[in-house]
Chain A
């Protein structure tokens, strides 16, 4: 017995050294479904049953046997890092080794490319978003994945999906993913997202239909737990304008199967619990599930997320130091956090009460979510609302269904909050207790995303809203950087132009750029490429702007890869541009200044995403000038253009400054020409 034991131990020890299980947590989903709360706090720190969401995700990774975690916080990065550094996950006895990473990202795709660039991943790894709640033992899927990879090196990714029931309310207003699967190999052949309640049509490659067995499934829920490989990451880098892990990446890779031969597979989770808190509806439903012990290993009374609940009869959970004055009625399914005091004659039903809350006498609270440090006066009535942290609610207030009270709000006594209303810390009240329209709320109102979250928050409580009412569009879920990010100020969304009608053109640009880069690597001559480009343009039905965009991306990318391979920035740029200048502009072809500016902007955007972008940019503009591809005016206009000064790309612009100065110095008389203010949109 003892020798056997040491042998086992020794072997596993070796294995640990060789191949620790790694995971990537993308805590920011680049969505805005949790607004207005997520404008002040990152989604992953939103409390679910008195523990931040991220606790559940990290706990899941720890339980899955993960050792190294690469953590991308995204928006509100300071808050997340402060929290994590103080948490038990950073202590010496933590089972996880968490490495906090920062990168300028406007999408999940940027993060993936950043990981690839940093070369952190050695083997198969798990990629999750920061809001996963699951007890699925990933080892099963991992084993299947590894076996498949031993046979077939091109199986680059396994996606965990779960079957769902049509009546499962939490998925109603959501994107419905359509998987076309070859059930014999669990291989995904085609993927498309559609919107619940809309007519669904898709274009499936006829080749796919030749597969003998084919499942077209809309009943699968994407758990957003992926098992990835380094190959997958390099594919992200190749498809550099992919933003969204499903809509762009999965779709793109499957579409390019002929080109790259990579396959993506599914693993269907049947018995276990795997969910994402991806919307307020899911938030409510998952809280309910955990509280009722749908999965025993996740039951709140287990205290896996660092809470200290004591269960009692009638399924009420209480933490330490709860003071409850009698007679008070706590009903089935109530959770009370530590340090909370509840006054006499209060009735609380199905409600989560956070820590250090004070609830007055004769209050009546039903199915609400009350976060930490909330003070609620006497005779208050709250039903189905969400009350953010550090909120003060005066006596005799009535808060109706679906109201959202954001962090630090103060609601004076006697106020009445109508259903679905949002209150923030800047809201003001009229004397009769109704909510006054204030500028801040108007700012929200004018925001294009605004109706989305109102209906979103209201939905879990109203439940029966029609699909038709939804103002929630595909891209607001998916790739568009949300308003929370632009408010944050650190990033900008103005360059990224996604919309459902834009999809085809985006795809054209992406595909064309990929092809061009490939040709450049094959060292083809520019005339051949020119004709191929024309062919692509006509078959894709694209306009000149998109072609230019593709060329800009392809060029900057090619130059960058040359630089990566050891060439110096000036030589690589010179060589590439000399060879391919005709793609940018054929000799003597007509081209407006505006087109040229847009081209420069595109190139700048692409270079900004790359590490050596700032080094390449000055040579790029200088060579374009030297080779007389563009006129001087284009450069100065580009330099003055607001879009080139955006935070995330400004570094490359500043790098080009000496060139512009030189340009201005040599051609003073020309630069005296009147400069018209130019605010043209690129699309």
Chain B
């Protein structure tokens, strides 16, 4: 089967080719995979980007974080251009850039302090894993409201209040202590150091390699986070689903399915699921009856669907899209997933979501959107049209029905819908529930301000 992996270009073949190919070729490879939509969907795109950037970072011979940042930015821009509607690509690039900046700051903070330069100072080392992984991965997740994230918050606040010339983004309590106050002395002392004592200049290179290793570690953590995000979001299921409720959902996605499964393990509820014709009705049907996900939906993880909800004794009503409005009045909550969340809390989601939430609003049914942190994007939606992706027209009008196609001026098959923030009542991320009005803050916390514009 290994040969088949190579033959079908996609996420698997990209991963397989990554170790053996030169980095430039891999970059081009991923760009063309994005362009041809051979890798699509939020999670595969995020994974591929993270893998590639790990390789880029490990192969770039940069002694300065600044150079590495430029390099990653350069690659990142190309990737975003190749997949302009896959928001997660940009998100991961920003996260990686953030990780590098973090190291840069740590280094600057450490240099004046550390008298033995090549050893890793204990504080930054301990700080690293939590800095870019959501805290919920380590700490008990429940208590982790956005405010509970200790690292970024004070830093960003200080940065925003500060003047533009100030050095931004100090990221830990430790750096707050070290950074602004020590700055003057640090700047003053380092030239003296390098001038007077040779030992401090010699061990500088080991520290540089160290900085890259730290970045690589941070990227590995991002990848781990991508893998665990579903599970973390599902951890909040019991907070949002009570017994005897009627839940309405649309289409299918791994995160919603896990969320519901988690709730089903403790609670009994009724699920109404609309099929989302024509782009994912097959996958929805497969999810409901627990069969194998049909070909073409590779981004959905097959394993997570091995046991359908009905196996837990949940009543699942599979309905056509036309019945959404009629049945909406029966529902207590709408739970859907987003393919991307934008800076003002607007979401990009499966086509048909807009009518769904409009119906929900009419019936005053609250809408809860599940969004893993990697889907949170700082992009500002100036033009909603930019976020609508189009898919195969054949799914709407079969290719063979040529007369029909020619008769119509234009046939289009949107795959995603843009939904304004006012339709969403609440988000559930890896970090717990977030009110829509506060989403901008959660999103800002994810990234460094310098990286908002790639």
Q: Do A and B come from one complex?
A: yes
Q: Which residues of A contact B (CB under 8 A)?
A: 5-6, 8-9, 11-13, 15-16, 19, 21, 59, 62-65, 88, 92-95, 135, 137-139, 142-143, 163-165, 167-169, 271, 273, 292-299, 301-304, 312-313, 315, 332-333
B residues in contact with A64, CB < 8 Å: 7, 9
Residue among B2, B37, B401, B415 making CB contact with A297, cutoff 8 Å: B37
Pick out which of these stretches binds chain A: B110-118, B372-380, B391-399.
B391-399
Across the A-B interface, give the 9 residue pairs with the lowest CB-CB distance, nearest first.
A139-B7, A93-B28, A93-B24, A11-B2, A12-B16, A297-B37, A296-B391, A93-B25, A165-B400
Cross-chain contact B401 with A139 (CB below 8 angstroms) = no
Residue among B2, B4, B19, B410 making CB contact with A315, cutoff 8 Å: B410
A residues in contact with B4, CB < 8 Å: 139, 143
Q: Roughly how many angstroms separate A70 CA and B252 CA in the complex, as a whole number?
A: 44
Which residue on A lies nearest to B386, using beta carbons? A311
Q: Roughly how many angstroms separate A303 CA and B5 CA in the complex, as a whole number?
A: 25
A residues in contact with B200, CB < 8 Å: none
A residues in contact with B13, CB < 8 Å: 65
Minimum CB–CB distance for A225 against chain B, Å: 15
Cross-chain contact B399 with A294 (CB below 8 angstroms) = yes
Q: Roughly how many angstroms separate A62 CA and B13 CA in the complex, as a whole number?
A: 13
Residue among A8, A11, A16, A303 making CB contact with B35, cutoff 8 Å: A303
Count of chain B residues near A, Cβ 8 A? 45
Given contacts A95-B28, A294-B399, A301-B390, 16 further A-B contacts (CB under 8 A): A11-B2, A12-B16, A15-B6, A21-B7, A63-B36, A88-B28, A93-B27, A93-B28, A137-B8, A273-B399, A294-B393, A299-B390, A302-B35, A304-B32, A304-B35, A315-B410
10 contacts between A and B (CB under 8 A): A9-B19, A11-B2, A59-B32, A63-B32, A93-B25, A95-B32, A168-B402, A292-B412, A293-B390, A293-B393
B residues in contact with A137, CB < 8 Å: 8
Cross-chain contact A8 with B385 (CB below 8 angstroms) = no
Q: Roughly how many angstroms separate A35 CA and B127 CA in the complex, as a whole number?
A: 70
Q: B409 on the interface (CB 8 Å rule)?
A: yes
Q: Roughly how many angstroms separate A312 CA and B388 CA in the complex, as a whole number?
A: 11
Most buried by B among A135, A168, A294, A332: A294
Cross-chain contact A12 with B3 (CB below 8 angstroms) = yes
B residues in contact with A6, CB < 8 Å: 19
Minimum CB–CB distance for A410 against chain B, Å: 36
Cross-chain contact B36 with A302 (CB below 8 angstroms) = yes
Q: Roughly how many angstroms separate A94 CA and B24 CA in the complex, as a whole number?
A: 9
Minimum CB–CB distance for A285 against chain B, Å: 9
Residue among B17, B38, B385, B392 making CB contact with A294, cutoff 8 Å: B392
Cross-chain contact A333 with B410 (CB below 8 angstroms) = yes
Contact mask B149-186 → A, CB, 8 Å, 1/0?
Answer: 00000000000000000000000000000000000000
Q: Which residues of B contact A (CB under 8 A)?
A: 2-9, 13, 15-20, 22, 24-25, 27-29, 32, 35-38, 385, 390-394, 399-403, 405-406, 409-413, 415
Residue among B16, B37, B385, B402 making CB contact with A296, cutoff 8 Å: B37
Cross-chain contact B394 with A295 (CB below 8 angstroms) = yes
A residues in contact with B412, CB < 8 Å: 292-293, 315
Residue among B15, B29, B403, B405 making CB contact with A95, cutoff 8 Å: B29
B residues in contact with A292, CB < 8 Å: 393, 410-412
Cross-chain contact B409 with A332 (CB below 8 angstroms) = yes
Q: Roughly how many angstroms separate A294 CA and B412 CA in the complex, as a whole number?
A: 8
Cross-chain contact B38 with A297 (CB below 8 angstroms) = yes
A residues in contact with B7, CB < 8 Å: 21, 64-65, 138-139, 142-143
Which residue on A lies nearest to B20, using beta carbons? A13
A residues in contact with B18, CB < 8 Å: 9
Cross-chain contact B28 with A94 (CB below 8 angstroms) = yes
Minimum CB–CB distance for B284 against chain A, Å: 19
Cross-chain contact B25 with A95 (CB below 8 angstroms) = yes
Which residue on B lies nearest to A301, using beta carbons? B390
Which residue on A lies nearest to B28, using beta carbons? A93
Minimum CB–CB distance for A164 against chain B, Å: 7
A residues in contact with B399, CB < 8 Å: 271, 273, 294
Q: Roughly how many angstroms separate A3 CA and B296 CA in the complex, as a whole number?
A: 28
Cross-chain contact B394 with A294 (CB below 8 angstroms) = yes
B residues in contact with A333, CB < 8 Å: 410
A residues in contact with B24, CB < 8 Å: 92-93
Q: Roughly how many angstroms separate A8 CA and B415 CA in the complex, as a whole number?
A: 33
Cross-chain contact B410 with A332 (CB below 8 angstroms) = yes
A residues in contact with B403, CB < 8 Å: 165, 167
Q: Roughly how many angstroms separate A62 CA and B38 CA in the complex, as a whole number?
A: 12
Which residue on B lies nearest to A88, using beta carbons? B28
A residues in contact with B6, CB < 8 Å: 12, 15-16, 21, 65
Minimum CB–CB distance for B168 against chain A, Å: 32
Which residue on A lies nearest to B5, using beta carbons? A12
A residues in contact with B401, CB < 8 Å: 165
Cross-chain contact A9 with B409 (CB below 8 angstroms) = no
Minimum CB–CB distance for B282 against chain A, Å: 12
Cross-chain contact B402 with A9 (CB below 8 angstroms) = no
Minimum CB–CB distance for B218 against chain A, Å: 17
Minimum CB–CB distance for B374 against chain A, Å: 19
Cross-chain contact B36 with A304 (CB below 8 angstroms) = yes
B residues in contact with A167, CB < 8 Å: 402-403
Cross-chain contact A164 with B393 (CB below 8 angstroms) = no
Which residue on A lies nearest to B82, using beta carbons? A303
Most buried by A among B25, B399, B405: B399
Minimum CB–CB distance for A315 against chain B, Å: 6
Minimum CB–CB distance for A561 against chain B, Å: 35
Minimum CB–CB distance for B453 against chain A, Å: 18
B residues in contact with A294, CB < 8 Å: 392-394, 399, 405
Residue among B3, B25, B29, B400 making CB contact with A92, cutoff 8 Å: B25
Q: Roughly how many angstroms separate A63 CA and B35 CA in the complex, as a whole number?
A: 10
Most buried by A among B15, B17, B29, B400: B400
Which residue on B lies nearest to A63, using beta carbons? B36
Minimum CB–CB distance for B303 against chain A, Å: 14
B residues in contact with A301, CB < 8 Å: 390
Q: Roughly how many angstroms separate A15 CA and B3 CA in the complex, as a whole number?
A: 6
Known A13-B20, A92-B24: A65·B9 in contact at CB below 8 Å:
yes
Which residue on B lies nearest to A288, using beta carbons? B406
Which residue on A lies nearest to B18, using beta carbons? A9
Cross-chain contact B16 with A8 (CB below 8 angstroms) = yes
Residue among A19, A169, A304 making CB contact with B3, cutoff 8 Å: A19
A residues in contact with B9, CB < 8 Å: 63-65
Minimum CB–CB distance for B246 against chain A, Å: 35
Cross-chain contact B29 with A296 (CB below 8 angstroms) = no
Q: Roughly how many angstroms separate A168 CA and B401 CA in the complex, as a whole number?
A: 9
Minimum CB–CB distance for B364 against chain A, Å: 33
Which residue on A lies nearest to B13, using beta carbons? A65
Q: Roughly how many angstroms separate A142 CA and B22 CA in the complex, as a whole number?
A: 27
A residues in contact with B411, CB < 8 Å: 292
A residues in contact with B406, CB < 8 Å: 169
Q: Roughly how many angstroms separate A8 CA and B15 CA in the complex, as a whole number?
A: 9
Q: Roughly how many angstroms separate A297 CA and B18 CA in the complex, as a whole number?
A: 23
Q: Roughly how many angstroms separate A433 CA and B411 CA in the complex, as a whole number?
A: 41
Cross-chain contact B390 with A296 (CB below 8 angstroms) = yes
Q: Roughly how many angstroms separate A313 CA and B386 CA in the complex, as a whole number?
A: 9
Minimum CB–CB distance for B35 against chain A, Å: 5
Minimum CB–CB distance for A249 against chain B, Å: 26
Cross-chain contact B402 with A169 (CB below 8 angstroms) = yes
Minimum CB–CB distance for B54 against chain A, Å: 12
A residues in contact with B2, CB < 8 Å: 8, 11-12, 15
Minimum CB–CB distance for A163 against chain B, Å: 7
Q: Roughly how many angstroms separate A135 CA and B32 CA in the complex, as a whole number?
A: 13
Which residue on B lies nearest to A143, using beta carbons? B4
Residue among B385, B393, B394, B400 making CB contact with A163, cutoff 8 Å: B400
Which residue on A lies nearest to B224, using beta carbons? A1
Q: Roughly how many angstroms separate A142 CA and B3 CA in the complex, as a whole number?
A: 11
Q: Roughly how many angstroms separate A6 CA and B18 CA in the complex, as a whole number?
A: 11
Known A292-B393, A313-B385, A315-B410: A9·B35 in contact at CB below 8 Å:
no
Most buried by B among A19, A21, A63, A169: A63
Which residue on A lies nearest to B403, using beta carbons? A167
